[in-house]
Amino acid sequence: MASGICNSVLVTGSNRGIGLELVRQLAESPSPPTLIFAGCRDPAGPKAQELRGLAQKHKDVIAIIQLDTSSPASISQAAKTVGSKLKDGSLNLIINNAGVNVHLELSNTGEKEMVDTYRTNVVGPMLVAKDFLPYLRKAVSQAADQRGMSCRKAAVINVSTLLSSIQKCPETFAMAPMYAYRISKVTLNMLTKCLAEDVKKDGILVMAIHPGWVRTDMGGQEAPVLPVDSVKGMLKVISSLTEKDNGTLLDWEGNSIPW
């Protein structure tokens, strides 16, 4: 249940797939956030048509923000834009969802595939967290209860994957021999852990979540989990996080995944 999950949230990569479903369920929950910032590479383009329709339906809640997570300039501009729209300067939740997967095995993976994937899946979430941190800190300072951690107060959620698990690699590699993707998401996990250690003193929770194998452009048509179910599960997990979950990797059903 997304009900009362938080007051304000940023979702990156929200024009299709899991990101679009996150924005939809957040906006249509019984007690929606006051403000949902829907980050999207090309807000005026054809791939954002569905998101524009959703934003039109929830005019006062959803704000579409130009946000290309592979561009540091776009990230810092988005942070300024969001800052100008926040009434009290505080943002509760960042969901670093935007990601790419070139689906290539070793023989087809070159420098370009590695660097492009790293830029979007690692550098992007790192710079988003860094540039938006002041708003999360403000949210903590304005929280009625200073004790504990939650997404209602301030949190960064990085969308990772089961394929990032080094321990599970012997079981999962053959079905998905994707070098660039796996390596980038392992690094995203380390970003999660570093950030969790770094900002716990500020009362900000940081964790990573695996959405399941989901039927999206990335997951493909054979994926067993529908976006609606994955997101329902993820929002249930996210909304019940506490300090014990800081720096962890959980799946969409709340199960722990080994690093």
Ligand X SMILES: NC(=O)c1ccc[n+]([C@@H]2O[C@H](COP(=O)([O-])OP(=O)(O)OC[C@H]3O[C@@H](n4cnc5c(N)ncnc54)[C@H](OP(=O)(O)O)[C@@H]3O)[C@@H](O)[C@H]2O)c1
Residue numbers at the binding site for ligand X (CB under 6 A): 12-13, 15-19, 41-42, 47, 67-70, 97-101, 120, 159, 161, 210-211, 213-214, 216-219, 223
For residue 245, the minimal CB distance to ligand X (Å) is 18
- Which C-beta is closer to ligand X: that of 139 or that of 163? 163
What are residue 251's DSSP bridge partners?
A: 210
Which of 165, 216 has the CB closer to ligand X? 216
Smallest gap from residue 68 Cβ to ligand X (A)? 4
For ligand X, the closer of residues 38 and 196 by Cβ is 38
d(CA 62, CA 37): 6
Contact, 112 vs 100, CB < 8 A? no
Please answer whether residues 96 and 159 qualify as being in contact, where contact means their C-beta atoms are separated by less than 8 angstroms. yes
How far apart CA 16 and CA 43 sit, in angstroms, is 12
We find the least distance from the C-beta atom of residue 204 to ligand X, in angstroms, to be 21
Minimum CB separation of residue 69 from ligand X in Å reads 4
220 dihedral zone (left: phi>0; alpha: psi -120 to 50; beta):
left
Specify the residue, 86 or 218, whose C-beta has the smaller distance to ligand X.
218
Kindly state the smallest distance separating residue 137's Cβ from ligand X, in Å: 24
Q: How far apart are CA 109 and CA 94, in angstroms?
A: 31
- Based on CB atoms, which residue is closest to ligand X, 202 or 228? 228
Q: How buried is residue 134: exposed, middle or buried, by Cβ count under 10 Å (0-12/13-18/19+)?
A: middle
Q: Which is nearer to ligand X, 17 or 233 (CB)?
A: 17
Cα angle 68-69-73, degrees, rounded to a multiple of 5: 70
Min dist. Cβ of residue 108 to ligand X (A): 19
Residue for token pair 């070098």: 179
